[in-house]
Chains A and B, each alone.
Chain A
Amino acid sequence: MGRYFKDIWEGLYTVLVGMRVTWRHLFTPAVTIQYPDVKLKLPERARNRLYVNMDDCIGCDQCSMVCPVDCITIETIKSTPDVDLGLTSVGTKKRLYVPRFDIDIAKCCYCGLCVYPCPTECIKMTDVYEFSEYERQNLIYSFSVMGQAEIDQAKTKLAAFEKAEAARKAAAAAAKAAASPAAPAKPATPVPSGTPARKPLPPLSSRPAPTTSGPALVKPEAPPATSGPGPATQGQSSLPREEPSPDPETKP
């Protein structure tokens, strides 16, 4: 019986306490802003729409390879030695034309992984977040500034140059073969491997014993040395990279 009256009293009392809280909040100023008339200023590290400064792009393909959702598509054409493509803003010499640099911003997951490996810091995440479109095709951003005529000209020039080079090398090899035997042929351009061949796994050990103490992390040995050629890093990117294909040709 006492429980019954106590419940009723507690019910009324806690309701009144709750009402006091909401009454107080009736007079506190709102914490919201009137978007779109007023917009919040995003912090400088904000990760929103991607932007590529094509003047600085050297076509190294790092961003495209590290993207987890494959939203960046890059095609490059090697330039011939007589053409000077200029320098990037950090001083690297550009050696590749970039006829195609598409980012499908609808696929992009805004992780920012593409920003770190770029050696010239040309791909950036801006603070633009209002970029809805009515057509899905408009969400595929093409950053390349080369016109079709330029692309064709570059391709023909490259083809002609390579033909000339091949002829020259064949003549040199023939001359060498005539001079001395057993000159090994230059190895063919290694085709970049796809998924690296996996070593066969040893039989799985029995369930690892659960550690009750903290994870015993061993002091690290010297970290594995960077291998493979690649554009000079600017000291900022610390992501591991796959070996870039040494001689990027026009991809189909």
Chain B
Amino acid sequence: MKEFLISILQNEILVYCLMAILPLVWIVPFALFAVWLERKVSAHMQDRLGPMRTGGWHGWSQTIADILKLIQKEDIVPAKADSRMFTLAPFVAFTGSYAAFAAIPFSAAYVGSEINIGLFYVISISSLVVVGLLMAGWASNNKWSLLGAMRSAAQIVSYEVPVSLALLAAVMVTGSFDLQEINRAQAGPVWNWFVFQKFPFLLIAAIIYFIASLAEVNRTPFDIPEAESELVAGYHTEYGGMKFALFFLSEYANMFAVSAIAATVFLGGWNSPFGGFLSGPWWGFFWFIAKGMTFVFVQMWLRWTLPRLRVDQLMYVGWKVLIPFSFAVVICVGFWVMLAH
């Protein structure tokens, strides 16, 4: 796609900018849709209906109405808050989520930046979100926000390890960090997907990755940083208006980012499940989005089913359950790959 655009526009810098904006074009409508979907899924699971009025059919424009409302709200910065950090925090959090999309291949023809350390880059840049959360909690001058921020920092940093180890198992099978390469290695019918390879180790790796990624995006059962019933709203208690909308946007963008990684690494990314049938650049985009949305749906499903873990139990699950299992998986897959050669 890059070559195609360069041949049309003849200006490399413009093309690079355009390629960089495309994920944003995806994220913003996705976030609007995902918020609506979450409300509808939660409603139907709770025997009710969710938004029904705004826009007519099942309230499809509810989120648009919410964003319009948030935009025109007064921008309040608490008096004793550190206003520079307070204002900067949502942007930092959003940047972390957005930048991760640079290396995620949406299709065989489109990837923001085809670097050969793609996966490594994605994992590291999404840690920028922690910095944003910590800034938000500290700058709010609110003890509850501070608690939320501290918890979230501990949580995200601890769960980086099982995330990386689980992904490392798949990287060992491919031999490359490049996400397009990982995608191409899963070409073919369904059983070529990594989740069925090196059975059962990569399946366990997929489960570990999914659970750890829930912690990365602060979703239940790991949503302590925003535990509504204890901390009111955790690190974003003091935020209102567009800043709050940015936090929300970054959370949903992050949700899709980790789902996209799971889909890419374990479920074949933009590969069609039927092998050659129904594949191609546009079909690839469709399959990729479908797989990503499945994971997003499962994340929502879990949120409305499960209670929340306490912070020390969360650390226990991360350090004492996920990490030993992920080490075991890495060792086993490593042996398998070595012996297979």
A interface with B by C-beta (< 8 Å): 8, 15, 18-19, 21-23, 25-32, 34
Contact in complex: A22, B49 (CB < 8 Å):
no
- A15: chain B residues at CB < 8 Å are 302, 305-306
Give residues in B with beta carbon < 8 Å to A. 41, 43-49, 52, 301-302, 304-306, 321
- Contact partner of B49 among A8, A18, A27, A30, CB < 8 A? A30
Given A15-B305, A18-B305, A28-B47, 6 additional A-B pairs, CB 8 A: A25-B45, A26-B41, A30-B43, A30-B48, A32-B47, A34-B49
Find chain B residues with CB under 8 A from A32 CB.
47-49
B321 touches A8 (CB 8 A): yes
- In the bound complex, residues from chain A placing their C-beta under 8 Å from that of B304 are 22
Closest CB-CB distance, B319 to chain A, in whole Å?
A: 13
A residues near B41, Cβ cutoff 8 Å: 26
Asked if B305 and A19 sit within 8 Å, CB to CB, the answer is yes
Check B302–A25 contact: CB distance below 8 A.
no
Please, which residues of chain A bring their CB within 8 A of the CB of B52? 34
Contact among A8, A19, A21, A25 with B44 in the assembled complex (CB-CB below 8 Å) = A25
Known A-B contacts A8-B321, A26-B41; A31 and B305 likewise in contact (beta carbons under 8 Å): no
Contact partner, A25, options B47, B49, B321, Cβ 8 Å: B47
Q: Which residues of B contact A21 (CB under 8 A)?
A: 305
Chain A residue nearest to B45 in the complex (CB): A22
Secondary structure at the A interface, as helix, strand, loop or mixed, is helix
Residue of A nearest to B46 (CB): A25
Residues of B with C-beta under 8 A to A23 = 301
Docked-complex contact B47 and A31, CB < 8 angstroms? yes
Asked if residues B44 and A26 are in contact (CB atoms below 8 Å), the reply is yes
Q: Considering only CB atoms, which chain A residue lies closest to B321 in the complex? A: A8
- Please report the C-alpha to C-alpha distance between residue A29 and residue B47 in the assembled complex, in whole angstroms: 6
Whether A19 and B48, one on each chain, are in contact in the complex, defined by CB atoms closer than 8 angstroms, is no
Closest-by-CB residue of B relative to A14 is B306
Question: 5 closest A-B pairs (Cβ-Cβ)?
Answer: A18-B305, A32-B48, A22-B45, A22-B305, A30-B49
Can you name the residue of chain B whose Cβ is closest to the Cβ of A8? B321
Q: Shortest distance in angstroms between A171's beta carbon and chain B's nearest beta carbon?
A: 78
Contacts of B306 in A (CB 8 A): 15, 18
Q: Say yes or no: A26 contacts B45, CB within 8 Å.
A: yes
User: Which residues on A sit within 8 Å (CB–CB) of B43?
Assistant: 30
A21 to B305, CA, bound (A): 8
Cβ of A19: which chain B residues have Cβ within 8 Å of it?
A: 301-302, 305
Nearest to B317 among chain A residues (CB) is A11
Q: How far is the CB of B110 from chain A (nearest CB, A)?
A: 33
| A22 to B300 Cα, complex, angstroms | 11
Give the shortest distance, in Å, between B222 (CB) and chain A (any CB).
13
From the candidates B48, B301, B321, name the one contacting A22 in the complex (CB within 8 A).
B301
Pairs A–B under 8 Å by Cβ, sample size 28? A8-B321, A15-B302, A15-B306, A18-B305, A18-B306, A19-B301, A19-B302, A19-B305, A22-B45, A22-B301, A22-B304, A23-B301, A25-B45, A25-B46, A25-B47, A26-B41, A27-B44, A28-B47, A30-B43, A30-B44, A30-B48, A30-B49, A31-B47, A31-B48, A32-B47, A32-B49, A34-B49, A34-B52
B-side contacts of A28, CB under 8 Å:
47
